[in-house]
């Protein structure tokens, strides 16, 4: 292969790369193939924890701390978690730390609740959004009613069976933050570490590596990372949904990225070898 050809390959117009990614993502949706999804330990730990809460007819908080930009990656997990909780009659208190997340949380909650025989107020409640993040969590631990006296629609929390007896988040059996930014840290530092409730995290694939140290210390009970983690959770509850479907394009794109990296490196080093040979040839020519 000539160096000029290699140069062309190295300087390939990025629109060709974009087109390949597009074809790969769309193509994978239409090609019929099955991918095995095996739940990892962190995902199984979250599933087991909810089963444990279900056994004692307990209550969980699902904090959907993401906005529309992370919706494709995190919403499948929110749905799977809520489906699991509602199917096992676990009471759910939903909320968000993200000012742009309330509408998303409300839609997911209402759509998932409609699939089950659950009633607003008796089985689940949406607190909505309040500013404060870490300080809000501290406030919820000190005096829950001071932090949230009403639900998202302005109704008194004392009128709902789920929240009537609630005075502190320390009474909650499991808190899960589905987060696309540092909100998961607020729940851990100002919530779990102060008030001792069990705490699980569902995050985007990019954030997941940050959580491993806390999973190992036991500060986090259950970790679901990215769409792959959500697919594992869907497999555990035996309700394949958007995440399992999304595994095909995601796997295809991951493989494409690996091929791009390998091919890019092959071209780069091959070009380097040719360049050195050329320079050696020039030096010998000059000598002769």
Partner 1 sequence: MLFFKRQLPLAIAFFFGMVGFFAQYIPHHSFEALYNELISWVRLLYAFALILGTYSLLRLHSKRIERKAPGFGYSLVLWAGFIATFAAGMYNDGRGFLAGQSDSGMLMWIYDYVFKPAGATMFSVLAFFIASAAYRTFRARTTAAGMLLASAIIVMIGRIPIGDMISEHLPILASWLMEVPNAAVKRGIFLGVALGVVATSLRIIFGIERAYLGGD
Residue 27 in contact with partner 1, rule: CB under 8 A: no
**Are 179 and 70 within 8 A, CB to CB?**
no
Stretch that binds partner 1, among 44-52, 76-84, 256-264, 278-286 (CB under 8 A): 256-264
Q: CA 242, CA 70: separation in Å to the nearest integer?
A: 14
In the complex, the smallest distance separating the C-beta of residue 265 from partner 1, rounded to whole angstroms, is 6
Strand 223-225: give its sheet, edge to edge. Answer: 124-129, 91-96, 59-65, 174-179, 199-203, 223-225
CA distances from 92 to 10, 15, 84, 116, 163 (A): 53, 46, 11, 13, 10
Residue 250 binds partner 1, judged by CB under 8 A:
yes
CB of 174 to partner 1, least distance (A): 23
Kindly report the number of other CB atoms within 10 A of residue 175's CB atom. Answer: 25
Among 31, 114, 117, 153, the residue binding partner 1 under the rule CB under 8 A is 153
205 touches 90 (CB < 8 A):
no
Report in angstroms how near the CB of residue 229 gets to partner 1 at its nearest: 9
Of 95, 7, 94, 81, nearest in space to 51 by CA: 81
Using the rule CB under 8 A, which residue among 106, 168, 171, 181 binds partner 1? 106
In the DSSP assignment, the letter for residue 222 is -
Residues 160 and 198 sit within 8 Å (Cβ to Cβ) = no
**In this chain, which of 45, 58, 88, 103 binds partner 1, going by CB under 8 A?**
103
Asked if 36 is part of the footprint of partner 1 (rule: CB under 8 A), the reply reads: yes
Binding region for partner 1 (CB under 8 A): 10, 12, 14, 17-18, 20-22, 25, 35-38, 40, 67-73, 100, 102-104, 106, 130-133, 135-136, 138-139, 142-143, 146, 152-154, 205, 208-210, 212-213, 216, 225-226, 228, 231, 247, 250-251, 253-258, 260-265, 268
């Amino acid at each position: 292969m000539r160096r000029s050809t290699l140069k062309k390959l190295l300087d390939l117009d990025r629109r060709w790369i974009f087109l390949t990614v597009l074809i790969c993502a769309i193509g994978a949706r239409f090609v019929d193939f099955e991918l095995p999804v095996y739940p990892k330990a962190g995902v199984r730990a979250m599933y087991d924890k909810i089963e444990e809460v279900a056994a004692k007819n307990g209550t969980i908080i699902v904090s959907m701390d993401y906005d529309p930009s992370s919706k494709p990656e995190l919403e499948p997990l929110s749905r799977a978690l809520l489906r699991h909780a509602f199917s096992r009659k676990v009471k759910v208190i939903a909320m968000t730390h993200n000012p742009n997340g309330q509408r998303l949380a409300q839609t997911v909650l209402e759509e998932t609740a409609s699939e089950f025989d659950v009633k607003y107020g008796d089985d689940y409640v949406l607190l909505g959004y309040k500013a404060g993040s870490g300080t809000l969590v501290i406030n919820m631990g000190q005096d829950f009613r001071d932090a949230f006296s009403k639900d998202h629609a302005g109704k008194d929390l004392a009128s709902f069976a789920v929240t009537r007896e609630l005075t502190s988040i320390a009474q909650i059996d499991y808190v899960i933050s589905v987060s696309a930014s540092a909100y998961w840290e607020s729940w851990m530092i100002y919530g779990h570490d102060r008030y001792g409730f069990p705490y699980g995290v569902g995050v985007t694939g990019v954030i997941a590596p940050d959580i491993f140290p806390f999973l190992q210390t036991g500060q986090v009970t259950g970790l679901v990372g990215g769409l792959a983690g959500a697919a594992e959770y869907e497999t555990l509850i035996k309700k394949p949904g958007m995440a399992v479907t999304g595994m095909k394009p995601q796997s295809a794109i991951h493989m494409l990225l690996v091929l791009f990296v390998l091919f890019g490196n092959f071209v780069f080093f091959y070009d380097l070898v040719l360049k050195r040979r050329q320079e050696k040839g020039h030096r010998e020519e000059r000598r002769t």
